[in-house]
Structure 1
C-alpha cells in the first residue's frame, strides 16, 4: 500500500507486457515504471509474478496471463478498483491491448489516459481488435510510440498527430568486461571462431529460417568456421506465435543448406551470460522480415547490442532504423535482399572490432537512453 503521507501524484501502469514475461515490450514497460518512480507514486496492474520485477514501493495487483479473455476481464476489474483507491492522475496502457482498460479506469476517477504503442498493437490483423480496441487508442489523451515508423502506422489508423510523442526505448549501459567475454568463448568451446549472435524469442518475424537458408551459406563459404549462436526460447507467451517449433524450422533450414554445424542454440540465458555473449560476438545479426499484419516496432536487441559495443547487421524494416544508426552502429540492408545481407555480414567480419567502433555504438545507445529516461518526467506525463 502507498503511504498516505506521500505527497506525490499517482501514475498507474496497466499492462500484460511486463516481466517475468520475456521480450522487448516487457523490458520497455519495466524501464518506464522505474523512470516514473522518482517523480510519481507508482502502481501496476500486470501479469502473475510481476511484483518481483516492479520498483520498490509500487503497489502491484497481478492477473494470470492465460487465457487472454480472463486476463483482460480480471485486469479491468482490478484496475478500476485500484484506480478508485489510489486516484491516479494518469493511467498508462503498456500496449494497445490494455488501452480500453486504461481509458475506462482513468475516466472513472477523472484522470487521463496514455497508451504506449509498439507497432504490432496498432496493425494487429484482427477485425475485432481493429473495431473495438482502436477507438479507445484514439480516445487516449496521449499516445506514445516507440519509433517514427510506429508513429506513421498510428496516424494511418486515425490517431491524431497532435497526441503523438515518439519515446524510444532505452537500455542500460553496462561496464564492459573483456574477461567475461573470453570466459564465454572458452566455456562454450567457441575458441576464436567468427561469432554471429542472434538474440530474441524465436518467431517467424525474426527471420532466422530465411537467414539460415539464404544468407548463412554464402557467409560460411567465405568463413567456414563462422558460427551463428542463437540466444532465445520459443515464443510460448506471444499472442501471435505460429503453431509448431520455430527452432525445428531453423534447424531444418540449416540441414537443407548444409550449415547445421555452423548453428548453435543456447536457449534462454541470464543477464550476465547475455552481456558476455554481446561482448564475445563479432556482430549481432537482425534479419527481421517485413510481414503483412506484423511489424518490428523498434528493435530493442539492436540497441542492447550497441550498448555493449557490438554492431548490428539488419534489414531496414519497421522501427529498426531508429535502433541502428546505419554506418555507425551497424549496417542496414534493403528488406528481403539476402545476397546484400550476406555481403554486409562478410564485410563486417573483415573489420576489426576497434575501440572507436565500440565507443560509437555505446555513444549512440547512451544518447537514446538519456532521451528515454528524461521523457517520463517531462513529456509523457506533464507535471
Structure 2
C-alpha cells in the first residue's frame, strides 16, 4: 500500500460508500454489512455514506471527497476503504497526494460496465489501486481482464446478518403472504428479488420454465426496472400472466416477509455481455432464512451458492434442466414439506459459511487492520 507505517495502521479505518440504506439493493445490503463488521471489529471506525438516490450523487460525491481529505489530513483515520470503483476514482487523487493507505471493493459492473467515458475515467484509477477487494472469483477475474495486476486483487467471501427465526416464523410469513395475495393454501410461492434487468433472467424464466410447472406455482417478483414491460409481455405470451406477480419495489418489512415466507427462491440469471452478476447476495439472504435456493451456475453466483450445500445450481438458460430441478420440488403438499427440510439444511450450511462475523475477520486480515485499534 502507499503508506504501510505502523502509526497509520493503528488509526481507525474510514469506509466511504455511495450505496447505503435506506436505499435498497444488493450493493446497499453489502455496504451495510461491511460497515457493521468494521464498526464491530475496529472501535472508532468512521463512515461516509450516501443513502439517497443517484440523482443526488453529483452533490454528495464532492462533499465525500472533502470530508475524507479533512479526516486524513488531521490524521483521524488510517486506511480508507472505498465501496466501489466510482468512489475510489473520486478519492484516489487526494488519497495518493496525502499518501494515505487505501483499498477499494469492486462489484461486477465496476469492471464490465460498457461505457467509453466510464472506462476512460474510472478504470485507470482502479488499475493503480494498491488493493482491490473483489466480491467473487468471477469479479476478480474480470478485474484482472480490465488491467488490474493479479497480485493486487483479493477475493472476499461475503457474509450476511443472520436473523433469529424458526419454523413458526416462516409459517407465519407464508400465511401472511397467501392472505395478502389472495392465494389458497395449495399455492407454491417462488420468489425472485432484485432489479428487473435482463441478466436476472426473469423474462426467460416466466416464458421457458414457469409454464411447465404445476398451475399452483406462483412466481413472485420483487423489484423494478427496465425489464418490467418485457416480463409482463413474456408472461402473457406463455399463458402464465395470472401466475406472475410483479410486486415492484418493496419496503424492508415486505422484503423480509417475502424472504421468510416463500417456498423457494429462484435466481435464473442469463448471460448478458457487459453486465455480469458480481455475487448474488440475495441468494445467501434467502438461504440463511431457510428458503431453498435454485440458481444459475453463472458468474458470481458460483461464489454465493455452494451446489448441494447452500443451494442448487442449474446450467443457465437450460430450460430442461431448470424444469427437472424444480418439478420435484413443487409438485404437491408432500413436495412442499420436503422443501422445508431442504431449506433448514441449507440454512445451517449457509450460516456457517456466510455469516458476517467470518466476513469481518477476513476483511480485517485483507486490509491489515488491527482489531481493537483506539479511536482517534
Which has more helix, going by share of residues?
2
Partner in structure 2 of residue 213 of structure 1: 207
The gaps in structure 1 that reach 5 residues or longer are 1-6, 50-63, 235-244
In 2, Cα distance between the equivalents of 1:185 and 1:381? 48
Distance change in 2, residues 1:182/1:91 (3 Å): same
**Among 130, 134, 149, which residue is 1:141 paired with?**
130
In 1, Cα distance between the equivalents of 2:97 and 2:43? 20
The count of aligned residue pairs is 350
Output one character per residue of 1:128-170: Cα deviation in whole Å (capped at 9) or x when no partner.
3223322211222221111111111122222222222211221
In 1, Cα distance between the equivalents of 2:190 and 2:340? 17
TM-score under structure 1 normalisation?
0.84
What is the RMSD of the two structures over their aligned residues, measured on CA atoms? 2.3
Q: Residues 14 and 101 of structure 1 are in contact (CA less than 8 Å); yes or no, is this contact kept in structure 2?
A: no
Partner in structure 2 of residue 84 of structure 1: 73
The yes-or-no answer on 1:259 pairing with 2:261 is: no
The yes-or-no answer on 1:34 pairing with 2:36 is: yes
Partner in structure 1 of residue 271 of structure 2: 290
Deviation of 1:83 after TM superposition, in Å, equals 3.0
The gaps in structure 2 that reach 5 residues or longer are 1-8, 371-376
Output one character per residue of 1:245-293: Cα deviation in whole Å (capped at 9) or x when no partner.
4222211111111110111122333333323322322211111121111
**Among 294, 303, 306, which residue is 1:313 paired with?**
294
Deviation of 1:72 after TM superposition, in Å, equals 4.1
Partner in structure 2 of residue 198 of structure 1: 192
- Is the partner of 2:22 in helix, strand or coil? coil
Distance change in 2, residues 1:365/1:88 (3 Å): same
Q: Residues 288 and 346 of structure 2 are in contact (CA less than 8 Å); yes or no, is this contact kept in structure 1?
A: no
Deviation of 1:335 after TM superposition, in Å, equals 2.0
Deviation of 1:299 after TM superposition, in Å, equals 0.5
Query: Looking at both structures, which has the greater relative contact order when contacts are Cα pairs under 8 Å and sequence separation is at least 6?
Result: 2
In 2, Cα distance between the equivalents of 1:215 and 1:26? 30
Partner in structure 2 of residue 227 of structure 1: 218
Q: Residues 17 and 46 of structure 1 are in contact (CA less than 8 Å); yes or no, is this contact kept in structure 2?
A: yes
Q: Residues 107 and 139 of structure 2 are in contact (CA less than 8 Å); yes or no, is this contact kept in structure 1?
A: yes
In 2, Cα distance between the equivalents of 1:66 and 1:166? 31
Partner in structure 1 of residue 49 of structure 2: 46
In 2, Cα distance between the equivalents of 1:332 and 1:41? 41
- Is the partner of 1:347 in helix, strand or coil? helix
In 2, Cα distance between the equivalents of 1:118 and 1:168? 13
Partner in structure 1 of residue 348 of structure 2: 362
Distance change in 2, residues 1:105/1:322 (3 Å): same
In 1, Cα distance between the equivalents of 2:173 and 2:128? 49
